[in-house]
Structure formats: structure tokens, C-alpha cells
Amino acid sequence: MLSEREINFSYDYRMRCENCPASNLLSAESYHSLSGTGVTTCSSCGHDFNFGPRVIDVRDPEDEALDASKIPQLFWYHTTTDPEWPQALWELPEKELRHLRRTAQWPEEEIERHRRIYENQALHVGTYEAAIESMLRRINEQGDRGSVFYLYRVRLRTDLRIAPNWRDENQEQAAKITRMDLAAEEWDGLRYLNAYESMGSISLALVRTAIESTQRIRLPISGQVGPPSDALMANIRSYRQRVQDIRATSADRPPSALDELRRRAAERQGTTLHTPFPPEIHVVLKEMEDYLSDQYLAEVSPVVRSDFLRAVGRPTAMSDDEAYGKWLKEFRDMAILLTRAGDVLKALDDQPLQEVGTG
Ligand SMILES: [Zn+2]
């Protein structure tokens, strides 16, 4: 019987002191308010040290994944835009190959090395939180907004050979581990401490044959939330009305001296100047976003919340009714992944097991 670890997005962090071996608890609130880096005082030696991803420690000292023998008894997760993950064959896309040859003009042996690493990269799985946060990051950083994502739940083979010690992603690279690296040590997988996704959690780099089977759902799962309440809709309408009112008043306002300078500069360059919207509009839009966050992401830590908000985006000064409606739906559907993981797991339970086997 496989076990599911507790899922929550309200976790805090542990940071290693730079002066002594102590591990210090740092709340998500402190981490967020100091934008991920800053100075804190060690609870053990009393010296100040710089915290951040660079000194991240295992955030849950009781994590079952710290015991190598327990790895196959846990469920693991992965998000990707690939509907047939994990693919048996993994080829460097022709487009990238052309780019490396023609545009980047890499020497042929360099391309060959890159191809070999790419086509033999290990598979990565992690906690449910790490999988969801990885998707949010991809939407933010890799331009995957609008892509269809899938959430995979992974069962591992019971006779896995897992490297006895876990790696610290800060000290040894984990993202580029290949099948050859693992095979050289006769391992099916190794554990590493995440310094990026869901910082402080343990992820695995695996060979494909380490995976016994998967279950898959398309994200976000829809049909799980009922229509928003009348009160919520009335509030959103009033935010939107305030945006429109500011736009109307600012259109009537005579241009300032700075506006006039900008207009003339644009004219000289032969471009048309788009008048920037008054900053008050952004204040209202931000207020609206905070309001919705309080409604739907109450138990999510401010760090994860901020990743979520960047991924979902928000309406702009120009958005029409349809754009507001779309945003609201996406916000609510995506929030379920963070706040109602139990329902997401139930949806996974209903999916057939896809054998991965030895292919
Ligand atoms: Zn210390």
C-alpha cells in the first residue's frame, strides 16, 4: 500500500547557518517580506547570516523521503505539457538542432555532447507541491501561459536501487543528471534537496524503468467549483467600475508638462505615444487581486501565493467583461490545485493506471 504525504502550501523554511551547523526555522512570511534574501540571526550561535535558496535545508526533518528504503512506498508527482510522459524516446527537437548549428554556430562536437545529455536526461519527480509549483514557474518563466499541463501521479518499482545519500542541489547539480550518470553507479535513482521548486523538499532523478505506472489528469480540473457568490461578483464589478471611472477622469485631464515632453520626443522618433494609464488604476487592480487571494488562497503561504498570482496574471486597464470572466474562472480553477488537493487526488484515483514497464 502506497502512502500519500500530507499536502500543504503553507509550509515554512529551514536555513543553514553559515557560521555553525545549525538549521534555523524561517517563516514563509519573513522569507516573502524580505524577497527571498536577507539577514537573520542564528538561533544557535547568535551570529547573523545571509539566508536564501543557497543555504536551504530540508524543511521537514520527519520527511519519509529522507529514508531511502521508503522511496518506493510513496506517491510521486510530475507536471508537464507532454501528454505521453515519460516518453520512451526523447529526441532533441530538430528546431533546436538547427538553431545551435546555424544561429548559435556551436562546434559539431559541442552539439553532440549537448544532444547526448538532452536525450538521456533523467526523469524528475517530486512532491505534489513541487509538481504544482514547477508548473507555476514554467508558466512564469518559460512562456508556457496558455499551454495545457498534465499532472502525473507516479508509482515506482518496489525493488528500486536508490543512492544512499541525497544530494544538495546547491552543491551538486541535479537538473542535468543523465541515465549514464545513474547507470555508472548502478542506481535507478537518486534523491536531491530542492533549492528551486518547493524549496527544501526532496525530489528524485530517475531512469525510466524505475517507474512502474502513472495516472494522469489534465489541468486545471474544471467543474469542481460552483459559480462565484453574488457578493463576490458585486465586489469584482465595483473594482472594475473604479478602473473605468479613473480612466474616464484621466482622459479629461489636460496633459502634464511631462506628458507633453514625452509626446514631442515620440513625434521626433516618428512613433505614436500610448498614454500610460494613471498609477491609481494599478492600485485598484492590485487591491482586487488581493481581495480574490483572500477569498481563494487563504491558507497558501505568501511565497507560493506570489508565484500563483504571477502565473495567473490579472486584468489590465483595457480588459473587457469577457477578460474579467476568464481571469476569474482561471483563478478559481487553479486555486483548487493548492487548496483542495484532496479533490485533485480523487480525480487522479479515477484515472486508469498506465504501465510504463521496461520499454
Ligand atoms: Zn549559527
Q: Are 192 and 205 in contact (CB under 8 A)?
A: yes
pLDDT at 214: 98
How many angstroms separate the alpha carbon of residue 303 from the centre of ligand 1? 25
pLDDT at 265: 82
Q: Where are the alpha helices (DSSP H) in the chain?
A: 28-33, 94-98, 108-119, 128-141, 179-184, 230-252, 257-268, 279-296, 302-312, 321-339, 341-349
How many angstroms separate the alpha carbon of residue 295 from the centre of ligand 1? 39
pLDDT at 252: 72
How many angstroms separate the alpha carbon of residue 49 from the centre of ligand 1? 8
pLDDT at 76: 98
Domain boundaries, the chain: 1-57, 62-222+342-355, 230-339
Separation between Cα atoms, residue 331 and residue 82, nearest integer Å: 23
How many angstroms separate the alpha carbon of residue 249 from the centre of ligand 1? 56
pLDDT tens readout for residues 157-199: 999 999 999 998 887 778 789 999 999 999 999 999 999 889 9
How many angstroms separate the alpha carbon of residue 61 from the centre of ligand 1? 18
Which residue carries 493548492 as its cell?
A: 338
How many angstroms separate the alpha carbon of residue 43 from the centre of ligand 1? 7
How many angstroms separate the alpha carbon of residue 335 from the centre of ligand 1? 38
Q: Which stretches of the chain score pLDDT less than 70?
A: 272-276, 358-359
